[in-house]
Amino acid sequence: MLMVNDVGVDTRVEPSSAHGEWSRRLVDLNRDELAQHAQYVEKSASELGVWERGGYIPLQPFLVSTAARRHLQRVHSGLKQLQVGYASDVAQGDARRLADAVGWSPAESWFLGAKRPLADALGASRSDVFVAGGRPRFLEINIGTCLNGNISSSVLGEVFPSTPVGSQIGQDHPVEGSSYLAELIRWVRRDRSGGPVNVALLGFRDDASEASLRWADEQAERFAAVGIWCQFVPVDEAEIVDDTLCWRNKRYDAAIRYFMASARVAEHRDFFHALEHATRTTLYGSYVSQLFASKTLLADLYQNDRNTAKQRRLLSYLPWTARLVERYARKEGMRIDPIAWAAGHRSTAVLKPGNQFGSRGVVVGALTSDAEWREALADGVRAGDHVVQELVEPDTWSCMYWHIESESLVRVESPVLLGQFDVNGADGGCHVQQPIKGSEVDLLTRDRDVSLGCVMSA
């Protein structure tokens, strides 16, 4: 198995003093100044298109210490290396072995055999992270390319420091943040340094990130600024001609697949199959990446008896995780039956399909009735591809918002759910889920109405 560097001493992830100072400066503004501040944020981040239906506009990033931001990135990088290395050991050079191990049927493994470079598939990732007691707890690692939240964290990471209050804070504290978009562009430029390149952003018009297709315009503008032509290409209008992606008589040298396009594969299987085999178009985000992100793989890694002391220390940042199958699992030095444990610990257990994404099929025991839990547990055992994870109770963080309807400043305490990005080995920034509506939004529910802010350091 791949060796990883020791992550060192735990670093608490919590508000820095500059975060509180930013909030206090906002409180000191009068109503007109606050309205101008909110309008500046909304206009400067208009490409996100998430506040047009009302609710809250965030007025500040979440600021942690530089040490905390580096710690998040180190742990994410180490866990990703460990998971990819473990998957590679399982595969033994044959991705079909990995597909069998994580429970993908032959019909679901249609993309295998395409001979795509793994580096193009696995170069970008995002961890879902709760913070509990100041300690980051990594729930899972999503591996793909165009992952949710990367646009908002990049855009807001530029907008917030340029606001009137942000400029004042920056005079006393060096506010810093990383950009997924900037790192993605560097990655593509390094790969395509031989000459001009046309880049396709592959997705669906009705499946747009951040509730607006303007994210594609923003990304295209960022590429254009460094001499790379880029545009949104709808999957249902594209085709593969002579092993090349084409749309409206234009050929594309590279394609960046929107991660959530996975939900629409069945409708366009022939196109995606041809894309995986299109040798004249570099594909960033091959479907093989989802094998490496399997939660059943994560459970097996967590339960692996051969982990070294350093690897176990790194895995301590994960909640307890095991396959939901009739075999023993280790928990706190004891051997337990994961099915029996889940049945007896509804309030502290979470069930997840091993090979789904976007929170599909996730059941939080604390949010269900006894009858619903028994039914979900039986369904998961019958499916044979689920994992059980111990619930993490997140801390709450305080941020200041402008409430559009009441035109007033609002302080909201919400659970800490982060998304730490890595792009081709570089820090791609970090987002935080924030409420759009309601004064006490529970970000754990499936009906959450959220925007994606950014985490920066100061």
Model pLDDT, residue 441: 45
Question: Cα–Cα distances in Å, from 229 out to 196, 213, 225, 290?
Answer: 8, 17, 9, 28
Model pLDDT, residue 444: 53
Model pLDDT, residue 6: 66
Inter-residue contact 235 to 200 (CB < 8 Å): no
Neighbours of 257 (CB within 10 A): 24
The bridge status of strand 417-423 relative to strand 124-132 is: antiparallel
> What phi, psi does 360 have (nearest 5°)?
-65, 130
| SS3 at position 112 | coil
Model pLDDT, residue 363: 94
> What phi, psi does 252 have (nearest 5°)?
-120, 130
Q: Which domains does the chain have, with CATH numbers?
A: 320-390 (3.30.1490)
Inter-residue contact 256 to 201 (CB < 8 Å): yes
Give the type of residue at 85.
G
Give the type of residue at 57.
I
Rounded CA gap, 269 and 282, in Å? 19
> What phi, psi does 261 have (nearest 5°)?
-65, -15
Model pLDDT, residue 261: 65
Model pLDDT, residue 265: 80
Tokens describing residue 180: 């997924």
Model pLDDT, residue 211: 42
Tokens describing residue 295: 């939660």
Could you give the residue ranges of the DSSP H alpha helices within 163-284? 164-172, 180-191, 214-224, 269-276
In degrees, rounded to 5, the angle at the alpha carbon of residue 243 between the alpha carbons of residues 237 and 245 is 30
Tokens describing residue 25: 């400066």
Inter-residue contact 166 to 174 (CB < 8 Å): no
Give the residues across from 321 on adjacent strands.
Answer: 389
Model pLDDT, residue 48: 83
Rounded CA gap, 421 and 346, in Å? 31
Over its length of 458 residues, how does the chain's per-residue pLDDT go in tens digits?
445 566 777 899 999 999 999 999 999 999 999 999 999 999 999 888 778 778 889 999 999 999 999 999 999 999 999 999 999 999 998 999 999 999 988 888 888 888 889 999 999 999 999 999 999 999 999 998 767 788 889 999 999 999 999 999 999 999 999 999 999 999 998 887 766 789 999 888 765 444 456 778 888 999 999 989 999 999 989 999 999 999 999 999 999 987 666 667 888 889 999 999 999 999 998 989 989 999 999 999 999 999 999 999 999 999 999 999 989 999 998 999 999 999 999 999 999 998 887 778 899 999 999 999 999 999 999 999 999 999 999 999 999 999 999 999 999 888 899 999 999 999 999 999 988 875 444 455 545 677 889 999 99
Inter-residue contact 426 to 144 (CB < 8 Å): no
Query: Which residues touch 23 (CB under 8 Å, ≥6 apart)?
Result: 60, 398, 399, 400, 411
